[in-house]
């Protein structure tokens, strides 16, 4: 909830900087926060799995050689 409020405030500041106002910037900030909250942990898990697979592959190749 705090993250959404911060994202909304940042989006509002960006929207206010163009001089037109409106809530589009705040809405985009909140949506970006919600998406990032789910995507970033998934990317960390996928990256760790890829790194582990590469590490094991290299290790098995060294063992076989």
pTM metric for this prediction: 0.55
- Token pair of 23 as six digits: 């809530």
**Residue 25: predicted pLDDT:** 74
pLDDT digits (tens, 9 = 90+) for 10-54: 777 777 776 666 677 777 778 888 888 889 999 999 999 999 999
Contacts of 11 (CB under 8 A, 6+ apart): 25, 26, 27, 28, 29, 30, 32
What's the gap between Cα 17 and its chain centre? 24
**Residue 37: predicted pLDDT:** 86
Q: To which residue do tokens 């995507």 refer? A: 39
């Amino acid at each position: 909830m705090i993250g959404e409020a911060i994202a909304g405030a940042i989006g509002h500041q960006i929207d206010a900087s163009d001089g037109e106002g409106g809530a589009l910037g705040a809405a985009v900030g909140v949506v970006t926060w919600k998406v990032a909250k789910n995507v970033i942990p998934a990317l960390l898990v996928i990256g760790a799995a890829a790194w582990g697979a590469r590490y094991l592959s290299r290790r098995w190749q060294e063992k076989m050689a």
